Amino acid sequence: MATIGESGSNGNAGRELVIVGGVSGSGKSTVGALLAQRLEVPFIDADSLHPEANVAKMAAGLPLDDIDREPWLVRIGEVLAEHADRGLVLACSALRRTYRNTIRAVEPSTVFVTLSGSRELIAARMNARADHFMPASLLDSQLAAFEPLEADESGADIDVDAHIDDIVDAAANVVRQGPAPA
């Protein structure tokens, strides 16, 4: 796992494949969109790739199980692979290593930037937003499922209790390091 603040180049400027991950309310979409602007690559929110059945289940306050997630995670890997020549930043919870492994199985060069913070901070963010299908009532299940990146995973965890510019700077530094050697 990369250390925040190191710099370097992955030699693929403009072709970075990045997932900004974390629990709902951690800032994945905001950080992801700003990071994509910084890297001059497209941005996609993985929520838009969920099958309708998954969205309906979450909107009903029911957490997804791994059977629900599997085709969604494979699709995320496919979308990343489709953007390998031009780069992409994608916001996706990617809460567990097994989920990240499913994505990496399709697109191994993906770099993960996971966002984390206190339950209180994230709950306040969730309660402040309107018109999102993920209710704050599912935060505890997401926090319980969240597995920080391990040492052999390409990317880094970033604390979101900071100014947005500092968070995006840290994320850009992580991405510049590129994927860890296989």
The answer to whether residue 9 is domain-embedded is no
Is the pLDDT at 7 greater than 80? The verdict is: no
Domain total in the chain: 1
pLDDT at 104: 96
**Banded pLDDT at 1 (limits 50, 70, 90):** very low
The model's pTM is: 0.81
The answer to whether residue 41 is domain-embedded is yes
Amino acid at 9: S
Parent domain of 69: 17-177
The answer to whether residue 4 is domain-embedded is no
User: The domain spanning residue 124 has which CATH number?
Assistant: 3.40.50.300
pLDDT at 132: 47
pLDDT at 15: 83
The answer to whether residue 5 is domain-embedded is no
Quickly list DSSP for 141-163: HHHHH--PPPTTSSEEEEESSS-
The answer to whether residue 158 is domain-embedded is yes
49-53, 130-134, 146-150: segment of lowest average pLDDT: 130-134
